[in-house]
């Protein structure tokens, strides 16, 4: 009878993980240290701002500046010749003119329709003639290249450069180059945000485990319930705490923006509706961003738990965690590089490698509309989390608990009523 009652009292792994997760979540959330934890983003925000400024400069340099010329053959040749003469002096301030294939133009060529059909990776199209050139493109691209086209047309016509021809603008809502540039910008920003949040928050898992090892609490837990359940509980508790912190930061940021966004950021006329739209749309992109953050956090947290299993002191933890931190930085660079390499072998490697997979897949969500690959990637990442947790918990029990004989654990298990008599 007693053995039956003890068997019924035994918790399953999921139940044990839930107990540990609830305990850790409440303990961390209502601690004084959590307030100081909320102040942590001040430092990565500064780093992110600097990185964003550098990334913006790189993006401006990498932005497409090919402009198609679709005038008469004689005018096209004159414009290209003028470009060759002026480019050594003016460089990238001039558009890179590319003569449009006459076969691609067809009869009754319409530059607006050509850009709308996204049949070429051009920032704009120049039509008309040398005395009255017409630039067709998005408002940003037309404003950027209008002066350069006028200068090239004047040089091509051997006119006085001080009296440039009047350039007529034809605006379109979008073009292939503009859509691609916007989606790349969205992918870069999403990867940077995911990396900063993951690196900022994942360290909580490691500090929590080291503290409980020092207090011998972890040994009592390991004696009462399966070690992999302890690891899972701690991982999901810290993930929940991280989501609470992100929610608080988001609410504070939204409040500051609502009160005085333009005064704080210096950006006027900002309209969220004008943000670059990712390929899968904003609602699905936000959901995938949340899921990939969870997976990136769990993967890195599981590694940190494994490191905690191997370390006996805080100094050893710091020594062992440094290579993982540097590896995660390299992983981020790898995923960032694959943004412009869709379908390549290196992108497939970044998707398959567990630590880089969330970053690479989040970028793919911004660039491509295919959805089934995300379900497969999330399943793969979840499987790797379970395997790392299993390996880390086994390592912990062998190195720390030294559970060669089951007899030493029985008294503690009886204390919790979780072992048979």
* pTM of the predicted model over 0.75: no
Dist. CA 339–CA 190, nearest whole Å: 11
What is the percent of the chain where pLDDT is above 70? Answer: 70
Residue 144's nearest CA partner among 167, 111, 119 is 167
| Angle subtended at Cα 66 by Cα 61 and Cα 67, rounded to the nearest 5 degrees | 135
Which helix (H) or strand (E) segment holds residue 127: the answer is: strand 124-128
Residue 113 has pLDDT above 60, yes or no: yes
pLDDT tens-digit series, residues 226-272: 888 888 988 999 899 889 988 888 887 777 677 755 544 444 445 55
Q: What is the pLDDT of residue 8?
A: 43
Summarised one tens digit per residue, pLDDT across range 345-401 is: 898 999 999 999 999 999 999 988 889 999 999 999 999 999 999 988 888 777 666
Say if CB 246 and CB 34 are below 8 A apart: no
pLDDT digits (tens, 9 = 90+) for 301-348: 888 888 776 766 667 767 777 787 788 888 888 888 888 888 888 989
Does residue 33 have a pLDDT over 90?
no
Asked if residues 135 and 169 have their Cβ atoms less than 8 Å apart, the reply is: yes
pLDDT 10s digits, 116-156 = 776 667 778 888 888 888 888 877 777 777 888 888 888 88
* Other CB atoms within 10 Å distance of the CB of residue 15: 12
Enumerate the β-bridge partners of residue 125: 68, 136
The answer to whether 356 and 295 have CB atoms below 8 angstroms apart is: no
pLDDT for 421 equals 41
413/404 Cα distance (integer angstroms): 16
pLDDT at site 106? 63
Q: Please tell me the distance from the alpha carbon of residue 229 to that of residue 233, in angstroms, as a whole number.
A: 6
- CA proximity to 351, closest of 321, 322, 381: 381
Half-sphere exposure of 17 (CA within 13 A, CB side): 15
What is the pLDDT at residue 42? 59
């Amino acid at each position: 009878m007693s053995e039956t009652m003890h068997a019924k009292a035994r918790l399953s792994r999921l139940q044990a993980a839930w107990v540990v997760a609830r305990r850790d979540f409440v303990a961390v959330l209502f601690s004084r240290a959590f307030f100081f934890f909320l102040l942590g983003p001040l430092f990565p925000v500064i780093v992110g701002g600097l990185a964003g400024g550098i990334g913006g400069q790189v993006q401006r340099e990498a932005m497409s500046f090919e402009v198609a010329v679709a005038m008469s053959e004689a005018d096209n040749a004159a414009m290209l010749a003028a470009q060759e003469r002026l480019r050594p002096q003016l460089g990238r301030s001039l558009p890179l003119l590319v003569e449009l294939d006459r076969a691609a133009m067809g009869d009754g060529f319409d530059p607006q329709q050509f850009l709308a059909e996204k049949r070429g990776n051009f920032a704009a199209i120049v039509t008309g003639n040398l005395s009255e050139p017409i630039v067709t493109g998005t408002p940003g691209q037309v404003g950027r290249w209008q002066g350069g086209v006028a200068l090239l047309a004047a040089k091509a016509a051997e006119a006085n450069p001080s009296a440039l021809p009047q350039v007529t603008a034809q605006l379109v809502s979008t073009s292939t180059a503009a859509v691609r540039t916007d989606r790349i910008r969205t992918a870069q920003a999403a990867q940077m945000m995911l990396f900063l949040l993951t690196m900022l928050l994942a360290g909580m898992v490691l500090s929590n485990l080291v503290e409980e090892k020092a207090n011998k609490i972890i040994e009592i837990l390991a004696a009462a319930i399966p070690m992999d359940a302890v690891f899972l509980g701690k991982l999901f508790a810290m993930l929940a705490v991280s989501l609470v912190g992100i929610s608080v930061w988001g609410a504070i940021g939204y409040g500051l923006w609502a009160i005085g966004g333009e005064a704080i950021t210096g950006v006027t006329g900002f309209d969220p509706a004008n943000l670059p739209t990712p390929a899968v749309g904003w609602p699905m992109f936000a959901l995938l961003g949340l899921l990939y953050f969870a997976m990136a956090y769990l993967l890195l947290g599981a590694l940190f738990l494994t490191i905690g299993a191997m370390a006996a002191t805080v100094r050893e933890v710091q020594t062992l965690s440094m290579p993982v931190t540097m590896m995660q930085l390299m992983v981020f660079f790898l995923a960032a590089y694959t943004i412009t390499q869709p379908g390549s072998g290196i992108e497939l490697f970044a998707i398959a490698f567990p630590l880089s997979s969330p970053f690479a897949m989040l970028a793919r969500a911004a660039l491509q509309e295919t959805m089934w690959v995300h379900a497969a990637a999330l399943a793969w990442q979840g499987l790797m989390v379970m395997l790392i947790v299993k390996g880390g918990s086994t390592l912990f029990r062998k190195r720390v608990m030294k559970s060669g004989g089951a007899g030493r654990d029985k008294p503690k298990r009886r204390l919790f009523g979780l072992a048979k008599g």
